[in-house]
């Protein structure tokens, strides 16, 4: 798969550095030419000889080493790379790159490259959740750098939480997805994300737990593959992805209008939004007073089914829906797939740990109109987005 690709594997100093050896083995096995760059602290955790033996190439460590520079300098490494993959990426390394600091061979290579850069962060869960780190990662994501999220687990520091380096195979898959890129150039992808809010009065609304993470990951992945991306987003607290046209809406009716207006431009429509099926018949002009009543009835009316309407006006477009289910996943997903005239539906059982609303991972099954079902294991929403776009690309007419 990676035959002929030049991958610079950056290793920074964390306990997970040993897993980079397994990642390197996978890269080499798949035919990639791999060059390893280690930071000084990475060498405290694992010896360069391990990487040299596995890659068959000298390991690069020093910015100003004359012999190394002569053989293959940092600019040459940066130029030759098809991908710079940093695993593990420490908070320090991510912070440096986010702030333009290039004070060693790895940070210099990352700054100098025009290739895609994929970070696989691993750190203590409190560091991972630290707003300073979050801002650094968000800044880099907005600038088009790629991240594979760490997983939840027991950390070397004794804490339990997010921060563990994903399985090397997962990182390898993410690298593969990235290197299969730009296949969507010239295509317009319309993505919906997040919840809708249906107002009861000026201070209350009906909604759901969608954070928008799944839809935003799809928008970023489509952008990274060269597509023009329109993102219609319900109210979420995520950063707008750079290079994506984002339209903000609140209610299902607003989402309906925005999507129908933009749909005519789209080659692919992916509806990850969790749209409220009903809205209150009446919206109070003022905050509703509880008065003496012990109970209260709110009358609801149906919202437009945006996806079903898109299915009626499908034309040449590839139409992909999501199904968030709590029971009979496949049965309900199949009903939506055929009932809404879709090419594919992404079914997630939102009661499953690690799947559905708000978290950073999802567990999905991809059902296609030809009756096939692909079952995917738990993976980050970024990775789900990448695989989903692979499958959608295969459905697009060739040429």
Catalytic residues: 157
Site stretch for ligand PMT (CB under 6 A), options 57-65, 132-140, 145-153, 272-280: 272-280
Q: Is 213 in the site for ligand PMT (CB under 6 A)?
A: yes
**Residue 55's CB: how many other CB atoms inside 10 A?**
21
State the DSSP string of 104-173. Answer: SHHHHHHHH--SEEEEEE---HHHHH-HHHHHHHHHHHHTT-EE-PPEEEE-TTS-EEEEEPPPHHHHHH
Rounded to a whole number of angstroms, the minimum distance from the CB of residue 350 to ligand PMT is 6
HSE-up of residue 242 (Cα within 13 Å, Cβ side): 9
Distances (CA, A) of 342 to 321, 368, 386: 7, 8, 19
HSE-up of residue 100 (Cα within 13 Å, Cβ side): 0
Site stretch for ligand PMT (CB under 6 A), options 62-70, 174-182, 212-220, 370-378: 212-220
Site stretch for ligand PMT (CB under 6 A), options 130-138, 208-216, 223-231, 239-247: 208-216
Q: Is 220 in the site for ligand PMT (CB under 6 A)?
A: no
Rounded to a whole number of angstroms, the minimum distance from the CB of residue 307 to ligand PMT is 3
Rounded to a whole number of angstroms, the minimum distance from the CB of residue 347 to ligand PMT is 8
- Report the distance separating Cα 106 and Cα 59, nearest Å: 12
- Report the distance separating Cα 334 and Cα 18, nearest Å: 43
Q: Is 54 in the site for ligand PMT (CB under 6 A)?
A: no
- DSSP class of residue 274 equals B
Among 12, 90, 181, 210, binds ligand PMT (CB under 6 A): 210
Q: Is 35 in the site for ligand PMT (CB under 6 A)?
A: no
Q: Is 89 in the site for ligand PMT (CB under 6 A)?
A: no
**Long-range Cβ contacts of 313-319 (<8 Å, 24+ apart):** 313/263, 314/341, 316/267, 316/397, 317/263, 317/266, 317/267, 317/268, 317/269, 318/267, 318/268, 318/269, 318/343, 318/344, 318/392, 318/395, 318/396, 319/269, 319/343, 319/344
Taking the least distance from each CB to ligand PMT, the nearer of 2 and 345 is 345
Taking the least distance from each CB to ligand PMT, the nearer of 146 and 271 is 271
Rounded to a whole number of angstroms, the minimum distance from the CB of residue 329 to ligand PMT is 10
How many binding residues for ligand PMT (CB under 6 A)?
Answer: 29
- Contact in structure between 235 and 270 (CB atoms under 8 Å): no
Q: How are beta strands 116-121 and 83-89 bridged, if at all? A: parallel
Rounded to a whole number of angstroms, the minimum distance from the CB of residue 218 to ligand PMT is 10
Report 287-326 residues binding ligand PMT (CB under 6 A): 303, 305-307, 321-324
Report 368-387 residues binding ligand PMT (CB under 6 A): none
Q: Is 211 in the site for ligand PMT (CB under 6 A)?
A: yes
HSE-up of residue 346 (Cα within 13 Å, Cβ side): 28
- Report the distance separating Cα 384 and Cα 380, nearest Å: 6
Q: Is 279 in the site for ligand PMT (CB under 6 A)?
A: no
Interface characters, 109-148, with ligand PMT (x: CB under 6 A): ----------------------------------------
Rounded to a whole number of angstroms, the minimum distance from the CB of residue 196 to ligand PMT is 8
Report 344-363 residues binding ligand PMT (CB under 6 A): 348, 350, 356-358, 362
Rounded to a whole number of angstroms, the minimum distance from the CB of residue 59 to ligand PMT is 39
Q: Is 163 in the site for ligand PMT (CB under 6 A)?
A: no
- Report the distance separating Cα 144 and Cα 243, nearest Å: 9
- Report the distance separating Cα 37 and Cα 52, nearest Å: 10
Taking the least distance from each CB to ligand PMT, the nearer of 154 and 328 is 328
Rounded to a whole number of angstroms, the minimum distance from the CB of residue 356 to ligand PMT is 4
Q: Is 252 in the site for ligand PMT (CB under 6 A)?
A: yes
Query: Residue 315 burial (CB < 10 Å; 0-12/13-18/19+)?
Result: exposed
Q: Which residues bind ligand PMT (CB under 6 A)?
A: 194, 210-215, 252, 271-275, 277, 303, 305-307, 321-324, 336, 348, 350, 356-358, 362
């Amino acid at each position: 798969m990676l035959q002929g690709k030049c991958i610079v594997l950056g290793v920074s100093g964390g306990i997970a550095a040993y897993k980079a050896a397994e990642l390197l083995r996978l890269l080499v096995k798949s035919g990639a030419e791999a060059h390893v760059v280690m930071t000084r602290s990475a060498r405290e955790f694992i010896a360069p000889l391990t990487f040299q033996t596995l890659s068959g190439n000298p390991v690069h460590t020093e910015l100003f080493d004359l012999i190394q520079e002569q053989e293959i300098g940092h600019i040459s490494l940066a130029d030759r790379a098809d991908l710079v993959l940093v695993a593990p990426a420490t908070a320090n390394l991510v912070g440096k790159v986010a702030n333009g600091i290039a004070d060693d061979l790895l940070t210099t290579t990352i700054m100098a490259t025009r290739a895609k850069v994929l970070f696989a962060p691993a750190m203590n869960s409190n560091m991972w959740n630290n707003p300073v780190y979050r801002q650094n990662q968000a800044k880099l994501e907005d600038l088009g750098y790629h991240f594979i999220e760490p997983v939840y687990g027991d950390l070397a520091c004794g804490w339990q939480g997010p921060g563990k380096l994903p399985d090397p195979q997962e990182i390898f898959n993410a690298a593969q997805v990235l290197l299969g890129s730009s296949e969507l150039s010239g295509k317009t992808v319309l993505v919906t994300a997040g919840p809708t809010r249906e107002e009861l009065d000026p201070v209350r609304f009906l909604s759901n737990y969608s954070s928008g993470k799944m839809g935003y990951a799809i928008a970023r992945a489509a952008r990274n593959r060269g597509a023009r991306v329109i993102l219609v987003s319900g109210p979420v607290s995520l950063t707008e992805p750079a290079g994506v046209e984002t339209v903000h809406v609140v209610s299902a009716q607003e989402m309906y209008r925005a999507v129908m207006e933009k749909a005519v431009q789209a080659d692919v429509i992916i509806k990850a939004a969790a749209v409220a099926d009903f809205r209150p018949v009446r919206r109070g002009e003022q905050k509703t007073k509880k008065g003496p009543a012990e109970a209260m009835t709110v009358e609801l009316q149906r919202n437009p089914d945006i996806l079903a309407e898109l299915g009626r006006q499908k034309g040449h477009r590839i139409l992909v829906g999501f199904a968030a289910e709590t029971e009979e996943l496949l049965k309900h997903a199949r009903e939506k797939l055929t009932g809404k005239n879709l090419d594919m539906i992404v079914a997630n059982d939102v009661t499953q740990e690690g799947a559905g609303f708000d978290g950073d991972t999802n567990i999905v099954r991809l059902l296609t109109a030809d009756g096939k079902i692909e079952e995917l294991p738990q993976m980050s929403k970024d990775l789900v987005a990448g695989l989903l776009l692979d499958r959608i690309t295969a459905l697009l007419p060739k040429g």
